[in-house]
Amino acid sequence: MTELLVLDKVTAGYGESIVLEDVSFTLKEGDSLALLGRNGVGKTSLLVTLMGLTRLHKGSIRWAGGDISRVSTHKRSRAGLGWVPQERHMFPSLTVEEHLTVVARPGPWNLQKIYQMFPRLFERRNNMGNQLSGGEQQMVAIARALMTNPRILLLDEPMEGLAPIIVQELVRAIRKLVQEEGMSVIVVEQHARLALSLTQRAIVLDRGRIVHDSDSASLLADGDKLDKLVAVA
């Protein structure tokens, strides 16, 4: 498979503050990655760095064969990076359908396909952004990123604070994206075992550095190592 994303010794942070240090990994087209670690180790900062919203002190980021280390956020988005941040950024004056159509770009992901994946959004298509539950807002956030027809989806804590029934719907959707659609996905998730069950590969960060890199299945099978690395129950 073609190399899609390559980080080479990336050191980045906010202003002079260093959060990520000497981070290197490669993601191929169609790969799925769980990005794990305790709170505050740099997981969200890594996604933000991929979108160009931190200061890159050293290293490089390559995307689809080109260097995007100094490319602006909106150009990275147009190049195929689909970002779903923790803050869902709902617009109270827009309906669900308007949230989706306003960002739409040509490609396989259109309203029909979105509504097939998220039937609940079809039911709520005329509801305003502030009339949705937290889980429904998360579905809109993911669907909105898909409507840009990205080549990779960056998911930052997609299950945080959601009811179990909504988590089940999102798990089903993410699993379909990975297994049936072949989409490249990076998932930041506190529920480590859940993230590992959805992905092919796992990276664990500690203090801004990669301390573990393996296939997800082997880490999931080694409960002692997983508990030591991410302090899960």
φ, ψ dihedrals at 219, nearest 5°: -70, -40
**Angle value at C-alpha 174, between 39 and 200, nearest 5 degrees:** 70
- The whole-number pLDDT of residue 87 equals 84
Query: Above pLDDT 70, what percent of the chain?
Result: 99
Mean pLDDT of 214-230: 95
Checking if the pLDDT of 232 tops 60, the result is: no
Is residue 87 packed enough to be buried (19+ CB in 10 Å), middle (13-18) or exposed (0-12)?
exposed
Identify the CATH class of 3-230.
Answer: alpha beta
Is the pLDDT reported for residue 230 higher than 60? yes
On average, the pLDDT of the chain sits at 94
Q: Could you give the CA distance from residue 120 to residue 192 in angstroms, rounded to a whole number?
A: 27
Q: What is the mean pLDDT of residues 126-138?
A: 93
Task: Using a pLDDT cut of 90, give the percent of the chain over it.
Answer: 90
Domain chopping of the chain, boundaries: 3-230
Q: How confident is the model at residue 1 (pLDDT cuts 50, 70, 90)?
A: low
Question: What's the pLDDT tens digit per position in 150-207?
Answer: 999 999 999 998 999 999 999 999 999 999 999 999 999 989 999 999 999 999 999 9
| pLDDT tens digit sequence for 30-82 | 999 999 999 999 999 999 999 999 999 999 999 999 999 999 999 999 999 99
What span, in angstroms and rounded, lies between the C-alpha atoms of 186 and 155?
6
Confidence of residue 88 (pLDDT cuts 50, 70, 90): confident
55-63, strands of its sheet edge to edge: 17-28, 3-14, 55-63, 66-67
pTM assigned to the model: 0.94
DSSP assignment of the chain equals --EEEEEEEEEEEETTEEEEEEEEEEEETT-EEEEE-STTSSHHHHHHHHTT-SEEEEEEEEETTEE-TT--HHHHHHHTEEEE-SS----TTSBHHHHHHTT--SSS--HHHHHHH-HHHHHTTTSBGGGS-HHHHHHHHHHHHHTT--SEEEEESTTTT--HHHHHHHHHHHHHHHHTS--EEEEE-S-HHHHHHH-SEEEEEETTEEEEEEEHHHHHH-HHHHHHHH---
pLDDT category, 233, cuts 50, 70, 90?
Answer: very low
